[in-house]
């Protein structure tokens, strides 16, 4: 298990490439997130990959096309953890977790992955109803199919939070107690704290966990989190050791007033996590 070295600051990584994209907007959006993180954390992002036109094809062709960039992302995470750093990462699509989570599990097997997403992303190539690579993003690191990028994430170290569009095979895993779901509801913060049970956390955020219209994102699933909800949940998680944060599925989109919607309010809601990562590094300096 890797532990942070004294004085190591958070490491901002910007995954700029495609990874199962339906369109090109998240590749642009990830750059906007990375730029905002750079300002807030006063660090220069490490860029992995480069934008290419979205393919919008089935999972196997998407994975083959994304493999070089995903392998480079895994290598970047290996460097970060080997050096004792904490990754703070701007993703394009949630499928990039196929590369990040096996590395997290290897270096921090004590940490729980809190997966914020409107979807469970626990389908496999055999069960997927859509063929979308992102729908397989969590099942791969759990070893439910061979991604070519590794596995090792244990089911007991996964918490789904805010998922509400769940396919029957995914629901079966939840019903059997294989995977923990902290569903929507007025006591979601209390239930998440109980599920974490004092463990270190690695946080994955897919922007479609939010109520549609709050930020531009690909999927629009009703009855999601508000930014106030997200802030409360971030404050709860920040009471624990924050091993790292990855944020994806923020698309470049036009605001009603003109211009692109900025990521500032979203990152304001997540600021407690960013402060916690930064404070941990400062405390070790």
Q: Model confidence over 228-241: pLDDT tens digits?
A: 999 999 999 999 99
- Distances in whole angstroms, Cα of residue 194 to Cα of each of 180, 191, 230, 266: 11, 5, 17, 25
d(CA 153, CA 100): 11
d(CA 204, CA 223): 19
pLDDT score of 278: 60
d(CA 204, CA 95): 11
The better pLDDT of the pair 52, 282 is held by 52
Note whether 118 and 103 are within 8 A (CB). Answer: no
Pick one of 3.40.800.10, 3.40.50.300, 3.40.140.10, 3.60.10.10 as the CATH number of 10-284: 3.40.800.10
Handedness of CA 125, 23, 217, 262 (dihedral sign): positive
pLDDT score of 256: 77
- Centre a 10 Å sphere on the Cβ of residue 187 and count the other Cβ atoms it contains: 10
pLDDT band of 257, cuts 50, 70, 90: confident
pLDDT band of 9, cuts 50, 70, 90: confident
pLDDT score of 279: 63
Provide mean pLDDT across the span 251-270: 92
Q: What is the pTM of this model?
A: 0.94
d(CA 147, CA 125): 10
State the Rg of the chain over Cα: 17
pLDDT band of 8, cuts 50, 70, 90: low
d(CA 57, CA 22): 8
d(CA 219, CA 29): 15
d(CA 28, CA 24): 7
What pLDDT, in 10s, does the model give residues 70-114? 999 999 999 999 999 999 999 999 999 999 999 999 999 999 999
**Assigned token pair, 140:** 């791969």
The distance in angstroms from the start CA to the end CA of the chain is 20
DSSP assignment string, 234-253: HHHHTTS-EEEEEEE-PPP-
Residues shown for the chain: 285
pLDDT score of 283: 47
Q: Which residues pair with 99 in a beta bridge?
A: none
Outline where DSSP puts E strands in the chain: 10-15, 46-48, 86-90, 112-116, 158-161, 180-182, 201-206, 242-248
Average pLDDT, rounded, for the chain = 94
pLDDT of 7 over the 90 cut = no
């Amino acid at each position: 298990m890797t532990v942070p070295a004294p004085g190591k600051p958070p490491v901002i990584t910007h995954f700029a490439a495609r990874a199962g994209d339906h369109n090109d907007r998240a590749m642009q959006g990830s750059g906007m997130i990375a730029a905002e993180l750079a300002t807030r954390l006063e660090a220069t992002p490490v860029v992995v990959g480069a934008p290419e036109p979205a393919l919008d094809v089935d999972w196997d062709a998407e994975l083959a096309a994304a493999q070089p960039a995903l392998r480079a992302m895994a290598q970047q995470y290996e460097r970060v953890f080997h050096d004792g750093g904490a990754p703070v990462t701007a993703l394009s699509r949630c499928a990039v977790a196929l590369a990040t989570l096996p590395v997290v599990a290897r270096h921090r097997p004590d940490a729980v992955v809190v997966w914020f997403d409107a979807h469970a992303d626990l389908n496999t190539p055999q069960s997927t109803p859509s063929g979308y690579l992102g729908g397989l993003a969590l099942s791969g690191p759990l070893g439910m199919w061979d991604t070519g990028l590794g596995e090792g994430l244990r089911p007991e170290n996964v918490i789904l939070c805010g998922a509400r569009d769940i396919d029957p095979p995914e629901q079966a895993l939840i019903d059997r107690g294989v995977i923990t779901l902290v569903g929507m509801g007025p006591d979601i913060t209390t239930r998440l704290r109980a599920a974490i049970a004092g463990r270190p956390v690695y946080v994955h955020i897919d922007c479609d966990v939010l109520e549609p219209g709050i930020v531009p994102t690909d999927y629009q699933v009703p009855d999601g989190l508000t930014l106030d909800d997200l802030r409360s949940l971030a404050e709860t998680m920040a009471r624990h050791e924050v091993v790292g944060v990855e944020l994806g599925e923020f698309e470049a989109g036009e605001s009603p007033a003109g211009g692109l919607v900025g990521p500032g309010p979203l990152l304001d809601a997540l600021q407690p996590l960013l402060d916690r990562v930064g404070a941990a590094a400062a405390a070790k300096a």
